[in-house]
Amino acid sequence: MSALWAPVDDPRETQAGGRRDPGLRAVGRPAPRLSRAPFLLVLIAVFGLGMAGLLMLNTTLQNQAFSSRALDRQATELAYTQADLESQIDVLTAPPELARQASALGMRPNPYPALLELPSGDVIGDPRPVAGGEVPSMVIKTPAEVAAEKAAARAKAKADAAKAEAKAERAAAEAAAEKKAAEKKAAEKKAAADQEAAKKEKAAEKPRGQDEEGQG
């Protein structure tokens, strides 16, 4: 605390002159100052609350950013899934696929259409029952039917190969039998020729012996 020095009036001057100098007056004691500790505590509390609020705000913004990225990723995946499903729908609703499904259900194109006229009920056209092979180019076979046809073709090819092999074996056996028969026939013919030659030789030797006996 500080105080101002004030001049002390001289009672003699006051009594003598009967007045005081107007430029000088007495100064009272100044009021005591407040302590700075409460203000500092309040300032620290406000600063701490501000930092805590800023930290909470930052944490909330980060969580929202993570949630936003997760939702964006989920939206992208859903968009891809939607595009895939739309592509599948386009494929399933295409005319070739519808024709394939109709063929799988046993439906066949009818080249003899007939129309029913209403309300008269007259039939326009020549309706005929179809066997299913009238328009083969419009029949789309299922994978099972294609596999069955391939298996049947392989079985037929194997059977044809077995038949051809058996036929070749029979032809070889017949050729061998014919060759054997020809050899046997040739041998018999040769034996007959040898016998005939032997008979002729015997017949020729017999008159020669008789001639020799006659000469003797």
Per-residue pLDDT tens over the stretch 35-68: 677 778 888 989 889 899 899 999 999 999 999 9
What gap in Å lies between CA 113 and CA 106, rounded to an integer? 18
Q: Are residue 145 and residue 214 in the same domain, yes or no?
A: yes
Q: Using the 3D structure, point to which of 93, 117, 132 is the last residue of a domain.
A: 93
Q: Are residue 88 and residue 145 in the same domain, yes or no?
A: no
Give the pair of three-digit tokens for residue 163: 């038949």
- Could you tell me if residue 71 is inside a domain? yes
- Could you tell me if residue 130 is inside a domain? no
Q: Are residue 82 and residue 146 in the same domain, yes or no?
A: no
Percent of the chain surpassing pLDDT 70: 78
- Could you tell me if residue 31 is inside a domain? no
- Could you tell me if residue 85 is inside a domain? yes
Looking at residue 148, its pLDDT comes to: 85
- Domain count of the chain? 2
Range of the structural domain that residue 78 is part of: 38-93
What gap in Å lies between CA 108 and CA 138, rounded to an integer? 8
**pLDDT per residue as tens digits for the range 166-207:** 888 888 888 888 888 888 888 888 888 888 877 777 777 666
- Could you tell me if residue 82 is inside a domain? yes
Residue 77: pLDDT over 60: yes
**Which sign does the torsion angle of CA 60, 61, 64, 66 carry?**
negative
Q: Are residue 88 and residue 146 in the same domain, yes or no?
A: no
Residue 7: pLDDT over 80: no
Q: Are residue 151 and residue 85 in the same domain, yes or no?
A: no
> Does residue 125 sit in helix, strand or coil?
strand
Q: Are residue 209 and residue 146 in the same domain, yes or no?
A: yes
**pLDDT per residue as tens digits for the range 126-149:** 878 877 777 777 777 777 777 888
Q: Are residue 80 and residue 146 in the same domain, yes or no?
A: no
* Statement: the pTM of the whole predicted model exceeds 0.75: no
- For the chain, the average pLDDT equals 79
- 122 bridge partner residues: 117
Looking at residue 98, its pLDDT comes to: 85
- Could you tell me if residue 111 is inside a domain? no
Angle at 32 between CA 28 and CA 37, to 5 degrees: 165
